[in-house]
Homo-oligomer: A and B are copies of this chain.
Amino acid sequence: MTARMLVNGVAATQVSALDRGLAYGDGLFESIRLLGTVAPLWSRHMQRLTEGCARLQIPAPDPAQLWREALEVSRGMLESVLRITVTRGLGERGYALPASPQPTRVVAAFTPPPVAAKIYALGVRMRVCTIRLAEQPLLAGIKHLNRLEQVLARAEWNDPAIAEGVLLDSHGRVISATMANLFAVVDGELLTPSLDRCGVAGVARAEVLAACPQARVAELTLDTLLDAGEVFLSSSVRGILPVRSLDGCGYAPGTMARRLQQHWRNLGFSMEQGG
């Protein structure tokens, strides 16, 4: 794995083994697509990170400092994915919050995952995951470090032809994919699930909602999803991915995904050319 990294602003590859990020998953992260020295969705990432810090009562990092560090770790890379991790820092053994938390900040740049041009053109194949997301309103929406549900969901399949899995909650409501948000066009209307009880409110999802004011947050059953005229995924790392099949049920890439892929190009992303 090749990554350039800063830990609390210093070139380093390690964190304390007593960090609460490791001990309890007590922190947050962001995965941010960079095009050279431009991050088109930066302000949305910073907004979510700040909200997450407030929710977990972790002092929020300074976005200007993070941006300087982002430029430093990604220097010379034409394209990169930045991972910013913020934890509550060191703590005594035990769950109680430290009296004077000193958050840990890790900024790392990675080579973006390759996505073939035909994936953007034809779409991804998906399956429905067996695991059901637990409902925890106090943690829903934010991108915290407690991600075992996503790890278990992604471990459900090995077939490289399947790119993603649909996650339902314990009531059978569609929530998202394992690493992307999900949109469906139903009776001509663009819908995406509510993330008030579980799931991560993606930055790309926020961009789609801003670009499509007619889109609506709504409850989606699996049956509705299977009957949808068009389904696509939004990801801050991969952009807009049409869905071509779900457990054998086929979809054609639709006009909404094409329109949003164009919006992504207009933002400066070049992913549709083959990543």
Distance A108 CA – B91 CA, assembled complex (angstroms): 14
A106 within 8 A of B: yes
- List 7 extra interface pairs beyond A22-B22, A25-B148, A26-B147, CB under 8 A: A1-B91, A5-B18, A18-B108, A25-B146, A95-B154, A95-B178, A135-B135
Interface residue count on the A side (C-beta < 8 Å): 64
Q: List 22 A-B contacts (CB under 8 A).
A: A3-B93, A13-B18, A15-B17, A15-B22, A17-B85, A21-B22, A22-B106, A23-B85, A23-B147, A25-B25, A25-B145, A25-B147, A26-B148, A56-B148, A94-B179, A95-B150, A133-B136, A134-B134, A134-B135, A134-B136, A135-B170, A136-B149
Complex contact B97–A154 (CB within 8 A): yes
Complex contact B106–A26 (CB within 8 A): no
Task: Produce 1/0 per residue, A119-132, CB < 8 A to B.
Answer: 00000000000011
Residue ranges of A at the interface with B (Cβ–Cβ < 8 Å): 1, 3, 5, 7, 12-26, 29, 31, 56-57, 81, 83, 85, 87-88, 90-97, 106, 108, 110, 113, 131-136, 138-139, 144-155, 170, 178-179, 198
This protein's copies in its complex: 2
Complex contact B148–A139 (CB within 8 A): yes
B residues near A145, Cβ cutoff 8 Å: 22-25, 148
Complex contact B13–A16 (CB within 8 A): yes
Q: A16-B14, A147-B25 are in contact. Are A1 and B139 (CB under 8 A)?
A: no
B residues near A147, Cβ cutoff 8 Å: 23-26, 95, 146
Top 3 closest pairs, chain A to chain B, by CB: A25-B25, A134-B134, A146-B146
Identify which of B1, B15, B146 contacts A14 (C-beta below 8 A).
B15
Distance A68 CA – B15 CA, assembled complex (angstroms): 25
B residues near A83, Cβ cutoff 8 Å: 93
Residue of B nearest to A27 (CB): B22
Residue of B nearest to A57 (CB): B155
Distance A145 CA – B83 CA, assembled complex (angstroms): 20
Complex contact B97–A151 (CB within 8 A): yes
Identify which of B24, B57, B110, B170 contacts A25 (C-beta below 8 A).
B24
